Structure 1
Amino acid sequence: MMMYKILTCLLLLFFANPVFSEEGEKQEPINTATLIGIGGYNLMDTYLTPGSRIPYTGWGIRVMNERMKMTRLADHRISRQQVFNADIASTQNGAGTTQAFSGFLDYTLGYHYHFNPVPALKLLAGASVHAMGGFIYCVRSSNNPASAKADLDLNLSAQAIYNFRIRNYPLTLRYQMEIPFIGILFSPHYGQSYYEIFDRGNKSGIVPFTSFHNKQAMKNYVTIDFPIGKFTFRAGYLNSLYYLDVNQIQSHIRSHSFVIGFVREFISFGGRKMQQESKHNSVFY
């Protein structure tokens, strides 16, 4: 119970976003990107396949929206990042005799302090809150055909952003890493049905505390921004690793996705969006 109280206090502090309205202070540009990705998925959940660790592999698609901007915190050296992600996948077992489908929605809010060891390089270090919900549905499983997923984590987060040119052609390379270190999640016990939980009220232990002892997860994200004509594109690779051993249930979700999409950078004034060049305090360029 004490862990839940500590986590709640940390989340309230993290989401507290002070707003300053000093007249004449410059607005910070918002860097936003919408990306579509496709890649391979590998799923395993012993709640769906009791006594077996059979993985299901296949393909999936994802849609991502990322927004980053500098804040006024720490003399304009802390940025805020928001990432919305939705992905679905269709997989099958090795023999091809049955299928499993998955779908997930997640949201990440992060704050990073900026270091500038050299003019072209930005190093960012900070933390983020990550919330995820979704399901894995196995076509062949009759007793427990679906496994619901819901997580809330505090993550360690770091980025490196490097701006360079090749024959006067501007490019921006970024690497980001996210690792959860404390959180809570929803998980039934091994063999426990959702009927027992929601209709009969057997809810003991279904929201356990998580850390490195029972959950290992990591996201690696590499992108490159490049202009073509009047547009800026972002292409990248997202590797997501998720391993869980809770309530005698073991599961993993692994994915490798290649993403591409458009990038915009603008300043918002009272709802009016105004295109700007990167002469402002850009979080990216």
Structure 2
Amino acid sequence: MKKTACLMFLFLWMALPLVAQSDEEEVPRSINESTMVGIGGYNLRDTYLSPSTDINYTGWVARILNERMKVVRLADYKISRQQLINVEFGSTRNGAETANEYAGFVDYSLGYHYRFTNLLPGLKVLTGASARLSGGFIYNTRNSNNPVSGKGDFDLNLSAMAIYNFKIKEFPLTFRYQAEIPFAGVLFSVHKGEPYYFLTQGGSDGIVRFSSFHNKFAMKNYFTLDIPVSNFTLRVGYLNSMYRTDVNSIKTHVLSNSFMIGFVKEFVSFGGKRLKSNAHRYSSAYY
């Protein structure tokens, strides 16, 4: 199992220089970037913190989501790259009103999608894969011995989205739906009842596990609508996130539904000789 984890992280480490190198070789193309904030409902359960499997903590979650999309040179410019950075914090309380749980997560996702652009007028369908690195915690205010449950995941995901440009009485709008689901990865989990200080005493056997559908189900559903307003574009959306694991006798779920709002900008980043040339044409990865 340790060999599997090492190979997957080695693959990611080797891939990063290739991504950086492709940036230098790409023909200048526009980047579609959005930054959104959201708030919604949160549902937590972690049997490391609460031994009973039927105790849910419910409350609110706030998040910030940054997204970048760009067409890259691969497959004759039929591939787009998507980067997502998500930061979230949630506050919940159990049904008996006797304890609180707080959770915080940060994750980064890098995906590549093949673009099908000639299916229907105004419609793009993108299919591909992504890699996601995530880390975070769940903290329970009632526990004294084991108050924190740490989380760490590296996933390989299947990803697909549909982007539809249309008009309502000559008013242009863009709707997008995206779904992402992991099929393989590794995750961090201590054993049930094992304090984290055991890790400093050599008790690290079995804390990194291979993850797939047998012990983990996670999925994101993302809906957005782009609305041009004067000289800027407003993006509103809805994000449904599901995360469930059953590892080392610990069952965890983190469920959220967030309503999002933010702004979109389209820009071109280049320099040197290309900065002084106006001969280039740019195409959007999104519109």
Map 1:159-170 to 2 at 5 A: 159-170=161-172
CA offsets per residue over residues 17-59 of structure 1, 9 Å max, x none?
242766xx84110000000000000000000012443110001
Partner of 2:102: 101
Q: Which has the higher helix share?
A: 2
Amino acid at match of 1:223: T
| Distance in 2, Cα, partners of 1:268 & 1:8 | 30
Normalising by structure 2, report the TM-score: 0.92
Pairwise CA RMSD of aligned residues? 1.9
Give the conservation status (yes or no) of the 8 Å contact 2:72–2:80. Answer: yes
| Distance in 2, Cα, partners of 1:14 & 1:239 | 29
Where do 5+ consecutive residues of structure 1 fail to align? 274-278
Distance 1:196 1:74, change over 3 A: same
Where do 5+ consecutive residues of structure 2 fail to align? 276-280
How many correspondences in the alignment? 277
* Residue number among 194, 197, 200 corresponding to 1:195 in the alignment: 197
SS for the counterpart of 2:191 is coil
Matched, 1:19 2:22: yes
Map 1:251-262 to 2 at 5 A: 251-262=252-263
Partner of 2:218: 217
Amino acid at match of 1:161: I
Following superposition, the deviation at residue 270 of structure 1 comes to 2.5
Aligned structure 1 segments of 4 or more residues deviating by more than 6 angstroms:
none
Matched, 1:40 2:38: no
SS for the counterpart of 1:268 is coil
| Distance in 1, Cα, partners of 2:75 & 2:14 | 16
| Distance in 2, Cα, partners of 1:181 & 1:5 | 18
* Residue number among 145, 151, 154 corresponding to 1:152 in the alignment: 154
Partner of 2:88: 87
Distance 1:4 1:26, change over 3 A: closer
* Residue number among 182, 185, 194 corresponding to 2:184 in the alignment: 182
Following superposition, the deviation at residue 118 of structure 1 comes to 2.2
CA offsets per residue over residues 162-199 of structure 1, 9 Å max, x none?
0000000000000000101111111000101001112x
CA offsets per residue over residues 54-108 of structure 1, 9 Å max, x none?
1100011101110000001110010010111111011000111111101111110
Partner of 1:276: none
Following superposition, the deviation at residue 201 of structure 1 comes to 1.4
Partner of 2:145: 143
